[in-house]
A and B are shown apart, each in its own frame.
Chain A
Amino acid sequence: MSGILQDPGTIILLTMILPTIGAVLIGLTGKWPNLREAVSLLTGVVLIGLVLTLLQHVLNGGEASIELLDVMPGIPLAFEIERLGMMFAVVASVLWTVNTVYGIGYMRGNNEDNHTRFFACFAVAIGSTMGIAFAGNVFTLFVFYEILTLSTYPLVTHKGTPEAQAGGRRYLGLLMGTSIGFFLVAIIWTWAIAGTLDFELGGILAGSVDEGIVPILLALYMFGIGKAALMPFHFWLPAAMVAPTPVSAFLHAVAVVKAGVFSVLKVVVYVFGVDFLAGTGANIWLIWVASATILLASIVAMTKDNLKARLAYSTVGQLAYVVLGAAMATSLGIVGGAMQIAMHAMGKITLFMCAGAIYVAAHKTLVSELDGLGRKMPFTFAAFFIGSLSIIGLPPTGGAWSKWFLMQGSVEAGDIILIFVLMLSSVLNVAYLIPIAIRGFFAGTEFAGAQPAPVGAAVSPDAKTGGWWQNIEEAPILCVIPLCLTALGCIVLFFFVDPIAAYLNEMLVPVEAPVLPDPTPTTE
């Protein structure tokens, strides 16, 4: 056993096989809910173990790659670990497990149907996320990207209502449309130009491509990776809000959108190459599109009363931060972007789990209905507050650091305007997130005398009886614990940012060292 587990290549494969086996077992144990959930959790824990083993390996300076078979001559299904993917895998596997715990609580608390299908698809989705994280070439990345889309489709349409169907249709249509319509074309084009699809530091395009094509190719990639939700291809995200909340959390924090921005970073760093991209100036338009997305999405978020819709638009905006980091094409920008993946994951999953908990406990979905609810659900709302801080980028939460690096990146790129974009966006974030927590804690009953709001009055009968702890009507414990954990995580990340920054920095070191990696070795 230990003999097998010492080979990192095998472990990489295991990270994908394990969830698949998990999914099958979940399907088989569908009749015994407790056993089935145990399988889910066990899968999660073992997965984290595997990923951490790999992390250890990477931290020791190890490398690993494994090549399965040639799908087409010269295009293998290959996996390798590098630092960015490693980080993504850690974030995804940890949050997936947390989210599964939460999902169990939510699904039971809410009496949803089809648990077995739900958890089986959930397991397949994390398996394909691992595939994305460890993909060794663009082709492999694309393959798992599509599997992820398909495996999350049943999750999005889980409720089976006409709205769920419409949302699912939009979800699938947009993601498939962009990925096949643009991403695939970009990949094949790259293959035709460079003769290889492997991820290499410094990119594979430099030197073999006409500069006029670069912006077009970049556009195909950036809009093709629809999961990154760059405007105008962001509509699937709000549409996917029909899904049960654990799915939303999964989409927004753990896997799907993160897979999108992760792919963006991967493509920029390993296909185009940071220096090459900055050199051609092809990234300029992307900077503006990303900036526009950040601001517009935040503004739209302010107009949304539905809590999940508001969070969805917030995600659109926050994802554009990562794209912006990539678009800056400076090392600090990339580090900031990569860090944003982790920080935003932590913050957004907290917010979504809070939204879900509120729905389970109080069946409220609108921001305007939340008045005073914070006093009944103090843990949830405290967590929400912390999560908000992290999204905004205020200390003492992890989100502060990613913004910090992004701002430094914009200085490095020489775009001072970007700093203003980032600051303005933070202000907007304050405007749409903080009022939610404030409403929860301060609006409503106690101030009801001054406030004729009927919404507050509805809550008042419960609020007047006894001490504050008696008023607590939290969501099921399985829902509350995970969200408290991730909220704590946001704070912890603030204090332990150094290792992460150092870790990510190292990822880019070799970019500057060898000037020319070696001009495209493979020609057919």
Chain B
Amino acid sequence: MTLVQALFYLMAFVALGSAVFVASTKNLVRSIFMFFITLMALAGLYVLALADFVAITQIVIYVGGILVLILFAFMLSGRENLNYISAIQNKFISIRKLPALLLAALFLIGLINVVVKMDTGNLEWVKISMEQKNDIQPTIEMTGNIGVNLMTHYLLPFEAVSILLMIALIGAAHLSRKEVAV
């Protein structure tokens, strides 16, 4: 086993283990902090896949932004709400969980099906791009590529997303401002 493979399995194990903890624990604040570990392990997996820009973006946006926001929401809400969640009866099999279990089982079957049927060693499109030298080397710098593509090929979706974010910002500002007396 090479070092890269060892690292992959380590990261994958950490990501899955912490994700299971996040989903199963009743202490919500701890589960948020555990989610941080899941995100870091995911960033590590991205680095192993040579997507370093995506890995760092993941940390900037999820850890620096979304996790902090979730924590804020927590700390601004009272302790009673948190206690309510940990007081819920939790049996592993109950009728309320049936839809979720069914969905999860179907998804698992689908995934296993894909893994078994797909011959990952010799995929057609991978071979073609290897022949055409259309693959990413570890030494290559991808940031410029991402920037150029965003501003040429994907300009329309990029602008559409920015308008969407703008609308959300204006909406948030409107909702949070003081009511003017008529």
Q: Do A and B come from one complex?
A: no
